[in-house]
Amino acid sequence: MKQIRAILIFLTAIIGLVIASPALFAHHGTAAFDTSKMVKVMGTVTAFLFVNPHVQVYFECKNEKGETEKWQGELTAPNKLIRAGWDKHTLKPGDSVTVSGYQSMSGAHTIWIRDLIGPSGESLPLAEQ
């Protein structure tokens, strides 16, 4: 009886893992972004979140009409940026940045960052060199 119960528990766990595995390995990639064209935005950092699964940069910029727009930029995982020389203090509120990347297909002010020029005027590495 104990042996049958152990087998049932084991099989239930295996079935549960098989059912959950697609969600565990899912990743949205670039699906939400228009990768057919790059946009460039210059602004001032309002927040920098060095968190998993993707580092977030929040910044404000002026549009063509002079109105303030709030933007959100998405970078890769913190561990990849650490290998490129980043830390949680690389950017701070008030820093001027120029961000290039792919904007959200919805038109929202969200950008998948492919290049980031920091407050020193130099491009910050986004991958280990």
Q: What pLDDT sits at residue 12?
A: 64
Return the number of other C-beta atoms located less than 10 Å from residue 16's C-beta: 10
Q: What pLDDT sits at residue 13?
A: 56
Are residues 69 and 85 in contact, defined by beta-carbon separation less than 8 angstroms? no
Q: What pLDDT sits at residue 99?
A: 97
Contacts with 83 (C-beta within 8 Å, 6 or more apart), sequence order:
127, 128
User: What residue spans define the domains of the chain?
Assistant: 39-117
Contacts with 21 (C-beta within 8 Å, 6 or more apart), sequence order:
none
Name the pTM for this structure.
Answer: 0.76
pLDDT in tens, the chain (129 residues): 778 776 667 656 566 555 654 444 445 577 889 999 999 999 999 999 999 999 999 999 999 999 999 999 999 999 999 999 999 999 999 999 999 999 999 999 999 999 999 999 999 999 876
What is the C-alpha to C-alpha distance for residues 116 and 126, in angstroms, rounded to an integer?
8
In CATH terms, the fold of domain 39-117 is OB fold (Dihydrolipoamide Acetyltransferase, E2P) (2.40.50)
